[in-house]
Amino acid sequence: MDTNKRMEQFRTMFQRVIDPLGYKFSPDEEIVDFLLEQEVMLEKEKGSPFCPCQGLTGEREHDMKLVCPCIPFHREHYDAMRRCWCGLYVHKDVDDPDELVQISKKEFEASRNKG
C-alpha cells in the first residue's frame, strides 16, 4: 500500500484511540509526518507500527506495549510529560510542544516516589 495512504489511515485510527485518553496529535506537523512515515516503514518491516523512538527486544509481551499509540501502557509516565515518548501525541491543552521535555523512566519514578 501507498505510504501516504497508510499514514492517513493511521491518523484516522489512532485519533479515535487517543481522543478519549485526553491526547491529540502534536501541532508540530513536521514531526507528526516524520513519525507516521517511520511507523509505516516499521509496519512493513516488522508487522506493526511500533514506536520509532523506543527499542524492541523481540519479546512479544514487551514489544506489543510499544505499538502506537502506546499511551495506555505508559499512561502515568506520559501524563507527567504531557506527551508520549516520541512526541507524536501531546495533551489536548498543549499549544507549544517544544516547551515539553522528555523525562526518563528513572526520573519519572524518582519524582513519583517523592510526590
Partner 1 sequence: MVPWFFAINESELDEGDKKPLLMEGNKILLLRQEGGFYAISNKCPHMECPLSKGDMEGYVIKCPCHDWRFDIRSGEFLDAKEITVPAYETKVDDGKVYVNLER
Partner 2 sequence: MKKVVMYTLSTCPWCMRAKTFFREKNILFEYIDYDKADEATRKSILEDCMSHGEKMSFPFVKIGEDVVVGYDPKKYSSLLDK
Residues that bind partner 2 (CB under 8 A): 31, 34-35, 38, 41-42, 52-57, 85-87, 101-107, 109
Binding residues for partner 1 restricted to 1-40, rule: CB under 8 A: 13, 16-17, 20-21
CB closer to partner 1, 36 vs 71: 71
**Beta carbons within 8 Å of 33's beta carbon, 6+ residues apart:** 7
Single-letter amino acid code for the residue at 58: G
* x-or-dash string of contact with partner 1, 49-68, rule CB under 8 A: -----------xx--x--x-
- Per CB under 8 A, 71 contacts partner 1: yes
Question: Residues 82, 90: contact at Cβ < 8 Å?
Answer: yes
In DSSP terms, 23 is beta-bridged to 91
- Per CB under 8 A, 103 contacts partner 1: no
CA distance 84 to 80: 10
